[in-house]
Structure 1
Amino acid sequence: MDEEEASNHEKSHSYSQPSQQDSNLDEKYPNRPHNHSQTLPFHELFETLFNPLSELSKKPTGSAVPRRKLGPHGQSAANLTPHEKRRDVIERFISRWRKEVGDDIYPAFRLILPDKDRDRAMYGIKEKAIGKLLVKIMKIDKNSEDGFNLLNWKLPGQLATSRFMAGDFTRRCYDVISKRPMRTEVGNMSIEEVNDKLDQLSNASKEDEQLPILSEFYRRMNPEEMLWLIRIILRQLKVGATERTLFNVWHPDAANLYSISSSLRRVCWELHDPNIRLGAENSGISLMQCFQPQLAQFQMQSFDRMIARMRGTEEDPVFWIEEKLDGERMQLHMQSDSSVPGGRRFRFWSRKAKDYTYLYGKSLEDPNGALARHLKNAFADGVNSLILDGEMIAWNPEQGAPEPFGTLKTAALAEQRNPFSNGTRPLFRVFDLLLLNGYDLTRYTLRDRRNALQKSVKSVYRRFEVHPYEEATDKTQIEAALRRVVAEASEGLVLKNPRSPYRLNERHDDWMKVKPEYMTEFGESLDLIVIGGYYGSGHLGGGLASFLCGLRVDNASSSQGNMSTKCYSFCKVGGGFTAADYANIRHHTDGKWMDWNPKNPPTAYIELAGGNAQHERPDQWIKPEDSVVLCVKAASVSISDQFRVGLTLRFPRFKRLRMDKDWKSALSMQEFLDLKSNVEQEQKEKEFSVENFRKKRVKRPKKELTVAGYSPSAEVKYEGPSGHIFDGFNFFILTDSVAPIKKSKAELEQLVKLNGGKIYQTNKAAPNTVCIADRRTVKAASLQKNGDVSIIRPSWILDCVRQNEIDAGLPDLLLPLEPRHMFFTTPSKEEEVLTSVDQFNDSYARDVTREELVSLLDKMSADKGSSDVPPRGEATKKLREVIQERVDAGWDLPCGWLFQNLTLFFPDQITQVPDSGNSEHPSCGYRLCLARNTARFAGATVVNDCEDPSITHVVVDPDTPSTEIATLRKTLSARADKKLPHIVTTEWIKESWEQQSLLDEDRYHPRSA
């Protein structure tokens, strides 16, 4: 018996003998399933699951198969959608697992979804550490080509292959390992064995502990197995299928359970039988189980509308104002436990379910805890367990102010080493209590939860504090609070409805963000998913210089709750990037880009404007699930027919890369339309002033309730043309016809019957029922809310019958649906409807009436626009837009255009050219003079009056005393203008000039007291 056979024999033996750990798990999970056989070999994972899914994701996706080719309602097995093909691959794997292994799929899911496995500790090794280990294991000279490629994986190598793989660490590993493999055929390590070794690796903290574990993997796996293993260790296993798809195939309640628990174990063990649904008692939060928190809604530009969303009453008009903190959202779980030092057990999780217990402490006496050790007196007597929601911020005790978010982890690590220093430290600001002594409080009002919070915890000064709030009833209190936080350089405000419950994993109007508006910017920062890229020229030549961003299409019609991966094109972003930003984006998307094929566009993922014209077509495209999210700012939103959304951002600028977000949490179409609706409403409110008085209600006699279209005296006198146009079709007519011809519900039903259709009084009575309505009745609204079926206007029936008369003697053919025919359109139907008309809504299949033709010609004339020469201001505006478009496409920015349309104010006036000082440390006056001249040369307007309302930026020296910065902020916050200028250091001008792109101001704000 050789070594590997002995290992398998030992493994088989241990499989039949439950360990102590298994017994403990059985006690904790009494309904846990047990497999009847050994787990599948590790190579089966990528051979039957990862590789097939990856191949499906690489195949270009063209337009959907026309409906007529598949039949009216049928679907050919050969023409499954990409999503259905992925489900089929996953279903086959799960079915095989159940048959050959058993109902416990947890061992496989730990490797399939490594980034969702919260039960295994972080490995503590990244690409560089793995590269060093592989160099030692394979005994490679670190200065050789292969050694260099592993240790410097972001840089291009000397050979063409290694240059191509720059930034793709796992591919470089595969390339190096395949030259010196220990095995050429797949190994015999089982999934269970791989999990055991990975558990050991996660517990190994030193290189000499990690080396033998990785050596065994190298000895027992071939290069392809090692490639997938390294991806699992890095938790970067992108195979073209989301966890929601995997969960939905496993069990219909799996995604919901994971969202409230973040536990793969619970998903796999409590939902192993797809026929047993999740009970209501298991659908709430649990102690020591991470959940997805409630989020604040996007802000509106009118305080009045925001107050209205707080849903106050005459008896209780109060809403709460809290300061918005610049930290990391954190949930703290505490449980009394005599078995741990200090008697209390802690767990900390971030909003993205990352476990930070290792950083902040697992007990009161945890020597590595940056926070827990200070909480001995933080809980009231009788409090045995609780869950707190709050924000972890970095607090500087010397300045008595919070530090930027980026310093939080550094502060926590410093606190671990020296817990009683006077340096920056973590401070947990608590604003909600969700569970107390085992009782779920999420259904209670915020006011009740706050009252319970005040009685349950005690503040620990500048370590653990209850976040304060103030009660308010009108907008003047919001304005005063906003000016105060601006003066203190804070993030903004959050308005909260004290009468609201806690809404898990939901962004709701009960909480609303209020951020200060700055000059040259449009309201909220938008988190947009990158869906395409454009090659640059000049100094940006050879790489993607600007990016096409999209809005995620909401998929309300999905019966299984799967999120649509389709995105509509929205804007191009090419400004604000540094060389480091470009490198970071390349690193996270390398190997995922595909060339755009105009003849076979990826319409399953991306939809451009212009139909076949493909407006703003990118050079390359990327799937949303493989892409990154950009935080983008812009001057305004404008109408555009160049992007599928129909709107776009004017002068968008990159702020930062949002690595804490993925395509599922990027801005969706519906979220953006909500923002747009708010802006439009605010514009109307500014244009009109409405007196505040109560109109007397006119009492009207109450109408008797009747079924629409039915009356005891109703007589159907109409008999129109008859035929077979609707043969085989089932109809549910909800209302009468309003336009273009008025017809009663009964008349419409008679017309359908005369032309071969069948009538039903519900959409469930027969399959594929066509729903007809022209008014929003209760039933129509209900169907629209469900989002399962499209609702068609009666005009389609009338047009079909009319066209059939015109085409007398020709075969009976139904007209394709046009936008004018749709009362409500499901997302899956939108594209089909739009393809039946041209840009002027002229039908391709229907003969238009005389009245329609006149209307179409009038519209065409209006769209030609005026030939008048625009005024000088308009011409400058047009020129700016043209230049910005060129820059977004990767062209070099003209030297004198970088700061065009910006107005700068320098508080420290320079009357003469100052001494430069030494070359390494130029003087303050020299830096200010250089920045001022650079800005003017690049098109900025510099003013000397700080009260000038056109000021967009106030520029100070980096060494300006913090007291002066604080005074400056207070002065600016007291201005009457609603929008505030940015305060930046001269470094913003210097580095923007060097990068030839306006960089995000947030990176260059001066430090204040």
Structure 2
Amino acid sequence: MFDLAELGEPKNAQDPTFTFLVTLLFSKFDGTRKDNLGRFPSVMSKKIWIIEQFIDDFKLHIGEDMFPSSRLIFPSKSRRKFFIRDVTLARIIIKVFNIPKNSPDYLELYHWKHNYHEKKQYRRDQRQVRNLPSIIARIISNRRLTVVNDDNTSDGVKPLLYPKQRESEYTVTQINQLLDNLETCSGQTEQIEILKPYLYEMSIEEIRWLLTIILRQPILHHFITAFFNKWHPQAMLLFRICNDLKITFHTLYNSSVTLSTEDLLLHPMYPFLPQLSHKLTVNYNALCIKMHKNYDMPPKLQNIFDQQGVKEKFYIEEKMDGDRMLLHYKNGQFKFYLRRLKDYTLLYGENYEIGSLTKNLVGFVKPNVDSIVLDGEMVAWDYKREIILPFGTLKSAAIQEAVKQFTTTDQYDQQSSYPFFLAFDILHINGHDLCSSPLFYRRYLLNNLIVPKPHRLEILPAHLGGTPDDIRQAIREVISKQGEGVMIKHVQLKYHIETRSDNWIKVKPEYLEQFGENLDLVVIGKEPQIKPTYACGLLDTETGIFKSFCSVANGFTDKEFSLIDQLTHGKWHKFNKDPPPNDVLEFGTRKPNFWINPKESIVLEIKARSINLSPTSLYAVGTTLHNLWCRSIREDKSIDDCITLQDYLEVKEHYSKEFSKAQTVNRKRRGLGEQLSFEESRERRRKINVESKLFSKFCFIVLSDKFDEITGERTSVGSLCDLIKRFGGLLVQLPPTPTKLLERHQQLIVITERLTPNGSIYVNSGIDLILPKWIFECIYRDSIIPLEDEFIFQSCNNHDFSDKTDLWGDSWIVPSNIEMLEVPKMELAVEERETKEFINDLAIQESDQPMAFLFQGIKFLILANDEYGFLEDRVKRFGGNIVDNWPSASYIISDVRPLEVLGEVAHNLQWTENDLTFIPNTVTPAFVDECIKYNYLADATDFKPVEAR
């Protein structure tokens, strides 16, 4: 890279104290709230000011060497490894302070993660409930203040005489030495001896932040870039390519130091965060259009582009099931870094002489290559079966391959797998950074500079595609061999370190909606954490025993976690002390901490991406679900309404048969009932009482649940399906053929209020998407309400509904809800002035202003997809104005970073004598939702488009 010795060495006038960091940075930064902003307009602006003031004070009173302090300010970036998790730390504190067993403090520390959502309800500052250092600091503070007589210690709390008096404050150097010692010590006993004197003498705030550093929790969360840029304008750029605090702060210790462009390019042997991909969010047609977009290039690259015939094409690569790995090579030396910067060189090898992989890579590059950086996937190859093994087997294969070099026995001969690196990109060659080069050129270099080593290091094949059918065919091939998925890459894609690119899309089978299933499951176990995991089971109707089937921890809100605690309070049994009866519950090798009798439990509606067809011993059923989350808590259902083991086995059989068949291309050809869903399978055994034949002439496909913006209530897909069946409707998974619809004298209705890949296909096929509220309106009026704009989510035939509403868009038939009416606009200047005075009076009195004035005086430029004006209506309903140019806008609303508009903004910036001209904030549509939800203007920096972060 560059020689630090040539740049000089930074020096400090004095060694900063730990108290200096705690007082002027940590506590001030953490204590910033919306209710103590003072003269600052937002939390973000005040936090940035705190950082700037700290750095100014540091340079004025301390000096130029920020590196020792930075190791404490950025604990997760310092590369220290203490091997102390939160649970371990809680145990250490118990022993350091001799906290009596079963005392309140002991129980709170020992089980600090348990019942988090129940305790949270009774704390004003809910953040502190999940913050272990804060909990420990509070407990130590209370015990220091405790004063009891020697004869009155029945509660187990003994008087504490801490903190001990110390002659001087701990310096940053001393704290770093403490942490270095803690990193190299072995065993909990030694850890306690090292920490004990510091915990006895430090103040409560110092203890809190010391423990935060030991747990490697972020302190300046989301403001790391602000700190680096304040220290030196090039500091963040340098840190991104080396991820080394010492190099960054010892190189850029003085603002007069300026690095060249070459210094800030990618360098081999230094870790960096790789580029990441986006998930598929549009249909294949839209994806192809995006991937066909061409960008201007220099003539030399344009010639290669034309010769390779990649115009209006894109790369299709198989997504491998392994570890994302960056391979660095320079003059015979290797480095291997995971995507999270973890160094795996020791495992895979640092030279040709030793290592589970590198000893087999001699000659993997052309003779003229001195240095190279490859991006790829590390997998495990089984040479006996000649297959790539599933994720999770790689590390054991690498370890045993490495151990073979140091053993003379044949105990590892049975190991038939070893590491296998599949390269899909080249980022550096002989001192030249290739990140700004287009992908087709990088692939060209990759194929010409790498000498493949069969099943050790090879180039991942990339096929050219150009149509939706090419993507579908690739997906079919992946599904047929149960692969991970495919990557779709723009041929002109540039490599962006540490960011996600929308020109790099991953398509996994489980992202496709037709593989998803909704099912109701009963909770039978729990693993209590801050984010609890609930075990769900299936009833075996032949034996009457519930068998464990899956575990779910995602999809819950804090409110739902609390509701589950309320509904199941006092019904849990500890598994190791009171195991469940064998005739009630049966678990696999994964046992929960607590179990509950299914008759006393609750029902969850689970959404699963797919069925995991591979056998597993973790659950008693023998298989499980893949990529699942909770849709809702079904208080309206009992365990008798849940899917049974026999239901599941029937659907699994059909699922296995359909697993390798075509997906989207064949959907229109399938007839009704060719593939069973969980819902259909359960309906064969359970009848639902039909109250009316209101919907008897319709068959429904329900794609999403219903959310009421006014009440905040959500109606799940399962509840909508039950409602449709109660009123005589027929539910189908796939559109019946037109012939079958005519035979049944039925009409197809697709219900949704969210755009999904399948929804786009229906619209393109001429099928309207109807909002769920149409169902409720029909039931309320006991008649089929004609379709109007109010009930249409998306349609190719919007003009057909325009004559069914008045000039304000209100229905002639359905009365408008008063909450949904727009606020009358004030047109007279007098009224506008009175409105402003009214709002100012509310602000002075610290009163909440009415929601009708939420966006009063604020102008929005909408560049996001708002085809039917829903976003514009919401802005206007709450007092905002819509403009068509950026100079007059307060906010620019865009789904992605509006490059052309921002380029125009940057080009037209002007500086006045005192300040810069106004620059509008760029936010996503979620900004509007957040403002309306909480009736305040949210922080725009939290809603920047992904590319703008």
Is 1:327 paired with 2:327?
A: no
Q: Deviations over 1:145-184 (max 9, x none)?
A: 8777766654589xx99x9999754356543696657634
Gapped regions of structure 2 (runs ≥ 5): 145-159, 295-305, 406-411, 519-551, 573-601, 605-628, 635-700, 720-753, 768-827, 834-858, 862-884, 910-919, 936-949
Is 1:183 paired with 2:144?
A: no
- Which position in structure 1 is the counterpart of 2:71? 110
Q: Deviations over 1:345-376 (max 9, x none)?
A: 3222222333333443434445xx54444434
Q: How do 1:653-732 and structure 2 match up within 5 A?
A: 682-687=761-766
1:638/1:219 CA distance change after superposition, 3 Å = closer
Name the CA distance, whole Å, in 1 between partners of 2:437 and 2:40: 49
Is 1:347 paired with 2:335?
A: yes
Is 1:87 paired with 2:154?
A: no
Q: Deviations over 1:912-962 (max 9, x none)?
A: xxxxxxxxxxxxxxxxxxxxxxxxxxxxxxxxxxxxxxxxxxxxxxxxxxx
State the shift of 1:231 in Å. Answer: 1.8
State the shift of 1:309 in Å. Answer: 2.6
- Which position in structure 1 is the counterpart of 2:29? 53
Name the CA distance, whole Å, in 2 between partners of 1:501 and 1:509: 11
Is the Cα contact below 8 Å between 1:388 and 1:430 reproduced in 2?
Answer: yes
Is the Cα contact below 8 Å between 1:635 and 1:651 reproduced in 2?
Answer: no
State the shift of 1:33 in Å. Answer: 5.2
Question: 1:519 is paired with a residue of what secondary structure?
Answer: helix
Amino acid aligned to 1:95: D
Is the Cα contact below 8 Å between 2:631 and 2:716 reproduced in 1?
Answer: no
Is 1:384 paired with 2:367?
A: no
Name the CA distance, whole Å, in 1 between partners of 2:189 and 2:424: 44
Is the Cα contact below 8 Å between 2:65 and 2:253 reproduced in 1?
Answer: yes
Q: How do 1:457-468 and structure 2 match up within 5 A?
A: 457-468=450-461
Is 1:124 paired with 2:69?
A: no
2:482 pairs with one of 482, 489, 512: 489
Question: 1:329 is paired with a residue of what secondary structure?
Answer: strand
Question: 1:393 is paired with a residue of what secondary structure?
Answer: strand
Q: How do 1:272-351 and structure 2 match up within 5 A?
A: 272-273=253-254, 279-299=260-280, 302-311=283-292, 315-316=309-310, 317-336=312-331, 344-351=332-339
Question: 1:52 is paired with a residue of what secondary structure?
Answer: helix
2:348 pairs with one of 340, 344, 360: 360
Amino acid aligned to 1:40: P
Is the Cα contact below 8 Å between 1:146 and 1:176 reproduced in 2?
Answer: no
1:153/1:298 CA distance change after superposition, 3 Å = closer
The TM-score normalised by the length of structure 2 is 0.51
State the shift of 1:55 in Å. Answer: 1.9
Amino acid aligned to 1:47: T
The TM-score normalised by the length of structure 1 is 0.48
1:136/1:680 CA distance change after superposition, 3 Å = closer
Structure with the larger RCO, 1 or 2 (CA within 8 Å, 6+ apart)? 1
State the shift of 1:325 in Å. Answer: 1.5
Is 1:170 paired with 2:133?
A: yes
Name the CA distance, whole Å, in 1 between partners of 2:337 and 2:314: 29
Q: How do 1:151-162 and structure 2 match up within 5 A?
A: 154=113
State the shift of 1:98 in Å. Answer: 0.7
State the shift of 1:387 in Å. Answer: 0.8
State the shift of 1:395 in Å. Answer: 4.2
1:781/1:483 CA distance change after superposition, 3 Å = closer
Name the CA distance, whole Å, in 2 between partners of 1:836 and 1:389: 43
Name the CA distance, whole Å, in 1 between partners of 2:59 and 2:711: 44
- Which position in structure 1 is the counterpart of 2:725? none
Is 1:449 paired with 2:442?
A: yes
Name the CA distance, whole Å, in 2 between partners of 1:26 and 1:331: 22
State the shift of 1:409 in Å. Answer: 4.2
Question: 1:535 is paired with a residue of what secondary structure?
Answer: helix
Amino acid aligned to 1:298: K
- Which position in structure 1 is the counterpart of 2:542? none
Name the CA distance, whole Å, in 2 between partners of 1:112 and 1:394: 38
Name the CA distance, whole Å, in 1 between partners of 2:91 and 2:479: 48
1:478 pairs with one of 462, 471, 474: 471
Q: Among the aligned pairs, what percent are the same residue?
A: 25
Amino acid aligned to 2:764: E
1:44 pairs with one of 20, 24, 33: 20
1:80/1:437 CA distance change after superposition, 3 Å = same
1:511/1:54 CA distance change after superposition, 3 Å = closer
Question: 2:84 is paired with a residue of what secondary structure?
Answer: coil
Question: 1:102 is paired with a residue of what secondary structure?
Answer: coil
Gapped regions of structure 1 (runs ≥ 5): 1-24, 63-75, 337-343, 548-570, 577-633, 653-674, 689-720, 727-732, 736-761, 764-768, 792-823, 840-1009
- Which position in structure 1 is the counterpart of 2:504? 511
2:709 pairs with one of 619, 642, 652: 642
State the shift of 1:492 in Å. Answer: 0.9
Name the CA distance, whole Å, in 2 between partners of 1:85 and 1:244: 15
State the shift of 1:235 in Å. Answer: 0.3
Question: 1:47 is paired with a residue of what secondary structure?
Answer: helix
Is the Cα contact below 8 Å between 2:99 and 2:106 reproduced in 1?
Answer: yes
1:575/1:425 CA distance change after superposition, 3 Å = farther
Question: 1:246 is paired with a residue of what secondary structure?
Answer: helix
Is the Cα contact below 8 Å between 1:430 and 1:466 reproduced in 2?
Answer: yes
- Indicate the RMSD between aligned Cα atoms, in angstroms: 5.8
Name the CA distance, whole Å, in 2 between partners of 1:773 and 1:466: 46
Is the Cα contact below 8 Å between 1:396 and 1:424 reproduced in 2?
Answer: yes
Q: Deviations over 1:177-229 (max 9, x none)?
A: 96657634576221122223323433445667656544564466455433322
Is the Cα contact below 8 Å between 1:292 and 1:505 reproduced in 2?
Answer: yes
1:828/1:191 CA distance change after superposition, 3 Å = same
- Which position in structure 1 is the counterpart of 2:228? 247
Is the Cα contact below 8 Å between 1:301 and 1:679 reproduced in 2?
Answer: no
Is 1:437 paired with 2:396?
A: no
- Which position in structure 2 is the counterpart of 1:469? 462
Is the Cα contact below 8 Å between 1:26 and 1:32 reproduced in 2?
Answer: no
1:648/1:331 CA distance change after superposition, 3 Å = farther
Is the Cα contact below 8 Å between 2:327 and 2:336 reproduced in 1?
Answer: yes
State the shift of 1:329 in Å. Answer: 1.7
Question: 1:35 is paired with a residue of what secondary structure?
Answer: coil
Amino acid aligned to 1:504: I
Is the Cα contact below 8 Å between 1:393 and 1:403 reproduced in 2?
Answer: yes
Is the Cα contact below 8 Å between 1:185 and 1:222 reproduced in 2?
Answer: no
Question: 1:48 is paired with a residue of what secondary structure?
Answer: helix
Amino acid aligned to 2:485: G
Name the CA distance, whole Å, in 2 between partners of 1:228 and 1:148: 23
Is the Cα contact below 8 Å between 2:4 and 2:247 reproduced in 1?
Answer: no
Is the Cα contact below 8 Å between 2:133 and 2:211 reproduced in 1?
Answer: yes
1:514/1:207 CA distance change after superposition, 3 Å = same
Is the Cα contact below 8 Å between 2:279 and 2:506 reproduced in 1?
Answer: yes
Question: 1:405 is paired with a residue of what secondary structure?
Answer: coil
Q: How do 1:217-256 and structure 2 match up within 5 A?
A: 217-218=198-199, 221-222=202-203, 224-238=205-219, 242-256=223-237
State the shift of 1:388 in Å. Answer: 0.9
State the shift of 1:445 in Å. Answer: 3.0
Q: Deviations over 1:427-446 (max 9, x none)?
A: 32211111112211223332
1:334/1:483 CA distance change after superposition, 3 Å = same
Amino acid aligned to 1:356: Y
Name the CA distance, whole Å, in 1 between partners of 2:237 and 2:517: 35
The number of equivalent residue pairs is 586
State the shift of 1:725 in Å. Answer: 9.8
Amino acid aligned to 1:52: K
1:78/1:307 CA distance change after superposition, 3 Å = closer
